Amino acid sequence: MPSSRKTMKQPNLLFRCRFGSHLYGTDTPSSDTDYKGIFLPTPKQVITQSVPKSLHTTTGTNRSKNSPEDTDEEIYSLHYFLTLAGKGETVALDMLHCPTTHTLTTSEEWQFIRTNRQRFYTRTLRAYVGYCRGQAAKYGIKGSRLDDCRRVVEFLTGREGKLAEFWDELPTGEHIRKYEEENSTQTDRRMYEVCSRKVPITASVQYVRTVFQKYFEAYRARAHLAAENKGIDWKAISHAFRGGFQLKEILLTGDLKYPLRDRDFLKLVKAGAFHYQNDGIGQQLDELVEEIFALSEASGLPKNVDMGFWEDFLVGLYLKGGDWRLPGLTR
């Protein structure tokens, strides 16, 4: 009989749903069952600042992979869920678009949140974009990416000091960018990014060269393996495509429907039914990410989420009588 890693007292649920591959429509006979939910913290937890981020239970063990009979459940505090959604985290956006067929527990408060889910959309959807970009950099096999990384490594070889000393001379390219980190507390917020690997301008040249050299060698090795269709993490690649398809649908239609329309393709990818190079899987992933960036640039969505709206909603939940329908909050 499966053992439990952790047992939690059932909280005051606002929402609970079937999650993961069962939600996406990519489940197989070997898929376990995942559940996600949201609970409303007690006034005491709020006042004493002891609101937990989430509660987690599972029937699996740390020593083995979950079986189809196992279940995993994670229930977020409403406070933390709104933070995740405000950052555009994929788990929160998946929950916001869960259809009634997979909804197990609901509430008036949850229906209000779901009705206003577009308020969490931004033209960057940072977590989604970052995930897709990172996965493409890891699993897409593109010669220009390898070449950009090589040029940076060659430029840094033989140089010493801080990266900032060579800021104006640093190579540029399709997969290279210089920018300022908006939320950084550093005096110098400049960042140098090569193939989705980011380093601060204050880092030493020796450290930066080591970071990019390791990536170059690993990426080159993956390219050789891809040509032979070996060493491919098909599950991770299917996740990369899934994230890309989800973001593309939001940017094109202003919504996201489950099960995913590309679920049949995703299941084939996950099963390793393709030849990575001969079927152009890496190239398709790169093209998907490039399309997403183009759609993002052209999007009329706001740059940031109006978290003030959600803060007003949250405050209203704890007012006398639970009057969360504050002025300006429309259902």
Q: Which helix H or strand E contains 209, and what residues bound it?
A: helix 205-227
Concatenating the DSSP letter of every residue in 296-326 gives HHH--S-SS--HHHHHHHHHHHTSGGG----
Using an 8 Å Cβ cutoff, are 299 and 123 in contact? yes
Write down the pTM of the prediction.
Answer: 0.72
Residue 88 pLDDT: 87
Distance CA 18, CA 73 (A): 9
Query: pLDDT-based confidence at 186, cuts 50/70/90?
Result: confident
Residue 141 pLDDT: 67
pLDDT tens per residue across span 86-116: 988 889 999 999 999 999 999 999 999 999 9
Average pLDDT over residues 162-176: 94
